Amino acid sequence: MKRGKNKFDVIVIGSGSAGFSAAETAQARGAKVLVIESGDWGGECPNSACIPTKALLKSAKRYREVTKNLEDFGISAGSVGFSFANIMAEKNKIVDLITSHGQKIPRLAKEFGIQTVKGKAVFLDQNTIVVEKKKYTAKAFVIATGAIDFIPPIAGLTELGFISYKDIMKMKKLPKSIAIIGGGAVSCEFATFFSTFGVKVHILQLDPTILIREDVEIANLATHELMKNGVEVYVDTKTLSVEKYGRRKRVTFDEGKHQREHIIVDEVMVAAGKRANVSELKLENAKVKVDDRGRLKVTEDLQTSAKHIFTAGDVSGGFLFTHTARTEGAIAGNNVVNFLEKQKSRLKRDMRVVPRVTFTNPEVASVGITSDTAGMLKKEVLIGRFPIGALGRAVTERDRRGLVKIIVDKKTRKILGGHIIGERAGELIHEIAFAMEVDCRVDVLANMIHAYPSYSEAIAGAASSLE
């Protein structure tokens, strides 16, 4: 391929899990690749989302362990406290370790022969991008700009200010109380963190349950655990306004039939979902179509309405997970090169088996469809349940909370979904996911020997208890 300065085969916009995976894949197939990043190298996950959040949650878990149940193990300790400044400093160390102080992606790009540019990318035309007044052209593009927070239209919210998960990563001191608008994974994880360290947390969720994508039975158990930790959970709740109340904020909402309820808090966090981060790209100049909500129109091979432009990751409208973003990046990287080489073959994203984890206390993990979804699809199913508290391992750990639930097609006995709440849920779910991936019957899990005493026995227990 003929190449010149600032002329590339493929330009990838975004250096996160999706973007760098696309760039690496395209470069490995011989393409000259440029990666453009406007924010932190590596994207949100290692810098302000997945990794730092889990570091904070690990500090919270350790604090719970040494303050709440040491006596159950015959251990006593003196007064235990915490330093929020030190917790944040340790979180920063983890981020620096994962990102090599922000230099991991530039270093890898150099090793792979991928060029990089820092700055905001804007399409000038179908084949030209401008970054900091410099023009770069390419035959094809991959948009991997991720997603940004959806800010609900609540009176006074923008005027009085609010915080996001990114702001929490820079927080200097804990608020005494906080209202979190939204009840998804981000909301529940931060509710777990804040409540562990004595912050009064209120979750305001518009939907009938928190963790709306999870099985209702599991979501209700998660709600119960949050409330045990002091979190106030409001569901079927529409937040109406945020007003100044001295140095604090008054949040007004309708909870079901209860109208105009109020809470007074120090801070308001918004975690009400995400939308594609494309508004500043000037996609109209590239002839890329979006729908009336600003979402990209994307095929299953991740191609946009402009045939030479592909997408990957959160921006593409699928799952908002790092692990799916990485897979989509590889698909987009292959497909964009196939396009350049005029090959008709295309890889397609296959998201039938995507495990997910919410790092609450205890963890929530799932894969596949829920029992409610099975009902809506009019599938005849069998459901297996096993209480984690019945395990010898749970008894020895002095933590008997949790449930494993498996959804099985009644006729084929193939697994349609798995749902877990409990210790190590994020690890356990992968046994169910693997069984779904290889399309085996549930009886394989039921009959396989599982080590005793281990949490994995609950998988066999649920698989053996179908009704």
Residues at the annotated binding site for FAD? 54, 314
Give whole-number Cα distances, 226 to 78, 302, 325, in Å. 27, 38, 29
Binding residues: 54, 182-189, 273, 314
CA distance 84 to 100: 24
Helices (H) and strands (E) in the chain, counts: 15, 21
- In contact, 226 and 364? CB cutoff 8 Å: no
CA distance 156 to 243: 6
Convert 391-419 to b/e letters by CB count within 10 Å (16 or more is b).
bebbeebebebbbbbbbbbeeebebbbbb
State the amino acid at position 170 in one-letter form: K
Residue with tokens 């927080």: 171
Between β-strands 7-13 and 134-143, what pairing exists: parallel, antiparallel or unpaired? parallel
Task: Please give, one letter per residue, the 3-state secondary structure of 355-401.
Answer: CEEECCCCEEEEEECCHHHHHHCCCCEEEEEEEHHHCHHHHHHCCCC
Tell me if residue 83 falls in helix, strand or coil: coil
What's phi and psi for 379, nearest 5 deg?
A: -90, 135
Burial label, 185 (beta-carbon count in 10 A; 0-12, 13-18, 19+)? buried
CA distance 238 to 366: 27
Task: Output the six-digit token pair for 136.
Answer: 């770069």
Q: Which among 262, 347, 264, 342 has a CA at the least distance from the CA of 308?
A: 342
Binding residues for NAD(+): 182-189, 273
Residue 52: enclosing H or E segment and its boundaries? helix 50-68
